[in-house]
């Protein structure tokens, strides 16, 4: 019996053991190298607790102020930028020569009167780079033009020797103020060349603004190379524009313009460039903002905020000890307001050196609350970024559907470089844009820092995934 049991038991045991099918172990999922939610929180905490962007903006706008091309203010701004890039942690800093126009506004005035009235002063601003009247009075009747069709139908005999007034507001029904501004800014209604070809003596336009006050907002003039007569051009505030139109509907009105604005050739200014070299390769992620402002303005939202946010990205990478795979470079452009030669010079340099840029990120819509990123790139690359949306949502970043890129990084598109522009809440931006009201006190510290948070998070994702 014992012998039988000794034989059966091992057989039973072996049968039992063999009957237990081994469940194949599931392949363990690879653990991601980064917990992106945690990294995003680190970036946010660092900037909100230790960020220097707001203080830097105060130094730039209040300590230096106006920094128009070819002026001592711009030179001071370049010195400030070099110092602050070094403090932010940039390891390589250099100046890039840019040929810029020398344009001097000088004295300027606009007066109007009806046949039965006295001369009345109207606050105005000459277009940047506009021809002047050589300091002499230019007096003529004003002719109102409200839309493109009226301009097309305008006969030379009617426009000849007149001062054309265009009361063309940006469209208030378009929710994106950037879109409404760009539509108006590209209209041939406000082209001095088009008006001049009709035989007019000067151009007055309603400022491109969402405000209803009487502050004029600057604009740059573009003359065609074959213009026989480059006529003076100027802007006036929204309130004066409406009052002038109302007056013209009742009676004839004369204008007297005196502008000593003049161009005096070119000089050298500089783009200021700082970077943290890549630990893996020399491919470049470039962040861009304009360093210059108009000659009468602090340029806080346009674009002091972009300047200090770009610097904050570098500072945060250094502060958190990130080893960036690719080179992270900041370019602060010269001559954005009245020529755009800084951005063109940088793009030409990238092409000549055959530098590999994997992305360009710009901030030039003001230091308001960030809402998303405009992605001007291939659909395949857009899809890669869409996958990151949930990481950004806790920070109020949700809009990845825009496809525009504002001017300072735009020339890089010709080199097939993906472009990204930070999208912010711009409902107030064009109240201040290109005006004397664009001052430091209009910038909210928390909104400014939140924009820097979003930019740093975005650059972090690109650096670790592209």
pLDDT in tens, 60-83: 999 999 999 999 999 999 999 999
Taking the domain 106-260, which CATH number applies?
Answer: 3.50.30.30
Rounded Cα–Cα distance for residues 254 and 413 (Å):
46
Q: Average pLDDT for residues 340-353, to the nearest whole number?
A: 97
pLDDT at 220 over 50: yes
Range with the poorest average pLDDT among 46-60, 315-329, 397-411: 397-411
Q: Which pLDDT value is given to residue 366?
A: 96
Residue % of the chain over a pLDDT of 90: 88
Q: Which of 196, 203, 197, 230 is nearest to 219 (CA)?
A: 203
Rounded Cα–Cα distance for residues 141 and 123 (Å):
18
Count of other CB atoms within 10 angstroms of residue 21 = 6
- Looking up tokens 């504002």 gives 406
For residues 259 and 265, the answer to whether their CB atoms sit within 8 Å is no
Residues 6+ apart with CB under 8 A from 253: 112, 113, 114, 141, 142, 244, 247
Single pTM value for the model: 0.90
Q: Where in the chain is the domain with CATH 3.40.630.10?
A: 36-103+265-465
* Strand 370-376 to 419-424 pairing: antiparallel
Q: Strands of 370-376's sheet, edge to edge?
A: 92-104, 262-276, 327-333, 284-290, 357-362, 419-424, 370-376
3-state SS, residue 262: strand
pLDDT at 181 over 80: yes
pLDDT at 287 over 70: yes
- Quote the tokens at residue 353: 């050196």
Q: Which pLDDT value is given to residue 404?
A: 83
Residue % of the chain over a pLDDT of 70: 93
Taking the domain 36-103+265-465, which CATH number applies?
Answer: 3.40.630.10
Q: Where in the chain is the domain with CATH 3.50.30.30?
A: 106-260
pLDDT at 3 over 70: no
Q: Which pLDDT value is given to residue 302?
A: 96
Q: Which pLDDT value is given to residue 19?
A: 42
For residues 174 and 180, the answer to whether their CB atoms sit within 8 Å is yes
Q: Average pLDDT for residues 297-310, to the nearest whole number?
A: 97
Model confidence band, residue 177 (pLDDT cutoffs 50, 70, 90): very high
């Amino acid at each position: 019996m014992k012998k039988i049991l000794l034989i059966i038991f091992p057989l039973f045991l072996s049968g039992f053991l063999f009957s237990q099918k081994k469940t194949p172990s599931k392949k363990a999922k690879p653990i991601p190298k980064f917990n992106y939610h945690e990294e995003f929180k680190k970036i946010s905490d660092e900037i909100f607790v230790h960020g220097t962007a707001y203080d830097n903006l105060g130094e730039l706008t209040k300590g230096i102020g106006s920094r128009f091309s070819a002026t001592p203010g711009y030179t001071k701004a370049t010195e400030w930028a070099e110092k602050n890039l070094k403090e932010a942690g940039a390891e390589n800093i250099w100046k890039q020569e840019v040929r810029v126009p020398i344009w001097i506004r000088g004295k300027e005035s606009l007066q109007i009167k009806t046949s039965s009235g006295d001369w009345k002063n109207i606050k105005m601003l000459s277009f940047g780079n506009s021809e002047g009247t050589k300091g002499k009075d230019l007096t003529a009747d004003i002719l109102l033009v409200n839309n493109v069709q009226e301009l097309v139908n305008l006969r030379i005999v009617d426009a000849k020797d007149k001062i054309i007034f265009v009361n063309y507001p940006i469209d208030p029904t378009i929710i994106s103020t950037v879109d409404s501004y760009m539509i108006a800014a590209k209209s041939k209604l406000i082209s001095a060349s088009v008006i001049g070809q009709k035989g007019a003596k000067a151009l007055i336009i309603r400022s491109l603004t969402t405000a209803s006050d009487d502050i004029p907002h600057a604009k740059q003039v573009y003359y065609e190379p074959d213009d026989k007569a480059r006529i003076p051009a100027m802007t006036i505030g929204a309130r004066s524009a409406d009052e002038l139109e109302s007056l013209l509907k009742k009676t004839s009105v004369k204008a007297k313009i005196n502008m000593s604005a003049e161009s005096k050739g070119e000089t050298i200014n500089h783009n200021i460039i700082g970077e943290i070299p890549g630990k893996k390769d020399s491919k470049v992620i470039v962040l861009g903002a304009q360093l210059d402002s108009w000659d009468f303005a602090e340029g806080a939202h346009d674009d002091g905020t972009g300047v200090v946010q770009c610097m904050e990205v570098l500072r945060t990478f250094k502060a958190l000890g990130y080893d960036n795979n690719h080179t992270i470079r900041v370019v602060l452009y010269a001559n954005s307001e009245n020529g755009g030669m800084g951005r063109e010079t940088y793009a030409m340099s990238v092409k000549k050196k055959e530098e590999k840029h994997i992305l360009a990120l710009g901030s030039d819509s003001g230091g308001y609350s960030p809402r998303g990123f405009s992605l001007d790139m291939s659909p395949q690359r857009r899809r890669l970024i869409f996958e990151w949306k949930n990481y950004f949502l806790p920070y109020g970043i949700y809009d990845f559907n825009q496809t525009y890129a504002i001017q300072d990084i735009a020339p890089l598109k010709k080199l097939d470089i993906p472009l990204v522009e930070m999208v912010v809440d711009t409902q107030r931006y064009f109240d201040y844009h290109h005006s004397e009201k664009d001052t430091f006190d209009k910038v909210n510290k928390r909104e400014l820092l939140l924009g820097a948070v979003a930019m740093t998070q975005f650059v972090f994702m690109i650096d670790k995934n592209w």
